[in-house]
Structure 1
Amino acid sequence: MSTGDGLVGLSVTDSAPTERGDAARNRALLLTAARRLIDEHGADTVTMDDVAAAAGVGKGTLFRRFGSRAGLMIVLLDEAEKAEQQAFMFGPPPLGPGVPPLERLLAYGHERLRFAWDHRVLLSDANSDPQTRFNPPATLHRTHVRMLLEAAGTTGDLDAQTDALLALLDADYVTHQVDDLGRSLQQQGDAWESLARKLCGT
């Protein structure tokens, strides 16, 4: 699928399978309970036991639905992730198509940094499981950054450069920078932009 500026191959991820009947209702019930608990108590304090109890189901049912706490976190992040994906693939510039690839890359870095901070607890939980860390949304983000680097004329190992840029946007890393080192999101964004510009030869 085209992103509107000649970059081809991306499509918005959809990690939730189509469901119907009781299965769909139970899934909605569990997600509603999880969101309510997170809003009331914070994502870092909510356990699978809490979610199951709030939804009125057994913990085994919850694990069968989502596999793990990380799996539940990924589903909760799904709506926000899809909105961000729509923005950087099809939305207005500079995040979306219509400007040079370097401008889009810089806009992406600042936006993803904010997203990582706003959703840091859920992202950290989702990334804690090796089976879910490299999920379809993560793969989509990696593909997007690599394509923009290539379109900007970046030379060298694009895979390594992509991984280096994305490492600076990892939720745990961003949280460490803010909480432990006192580096603001603006400072981190400036550092990310500096690296991106150097990789693109500007």
Structure 2
Amino acid sequence: MEDAPCLPIIGEAAPDFEAVTTQGPLKLSELRGKWVVLFSHPADFTPVCTTEFVALAQANPELEALNVKLIGLSIDSVHSHLAWVKNIEEKMGVKIPFPVIADLDMSVAKKFGMIHSGSSSTATVRTVFFIDPEGTMRAMIYYPLTNGRYIPEIVRLVKALQTTDRHKVSTPANWQPGEKVVVPPPKTAAEMEKRASEGYECKDWYLCFKTI
């Protein structure tokens, strides 16, 4: 039986790495101070991955405005990446603005649990990792090889995480920027009693909303 993939842990430091990319050498820890969205794709020159790269390139200006560095990865050579990026620009009219890691030895993929033997032993599943400016893993999303990601959810989750950090709140199901957020529940009886006078919109003592 093969070993299970090593998975990063939410709330712990993201594994550091150094890698070759389409934009030169990259070290994760040198990106401190920025949010990082690291995503993998199964292979270059494949249909679903191409649609994702186009969509991510189109979302990149919004992500950059949120202080996000977008980084792609697959187990292909840098020459393959460069040829594919050029092909996308020529055939789709979209320039890929973010670096793409060439992970031929799978060292980064293994650190982040991107190789799932049930799907493939030589291709990365579609993963998205959200790393905050302190280098902490904040969220992870995994998709199978067959299904492309919904890129607006990646942008929305970055905004939700940043809202949580800025205002010390949570975000409810289906939250969109500008909507009400969830106030942390009280931890003591005194806090619970005080809750009624704090001006929140409460459904009950443990579920209160506010506008930020």
TM over 0.5: no
Structure 1 length normalisation: TM-score? 0.28
Where is the strand percentage greater, Structure 1 or Structure 2?
2
Structure 2 length normalisation: TM-score? 0.27
Where is the helix percentage greater, Structure 1 or Structure 2?
1
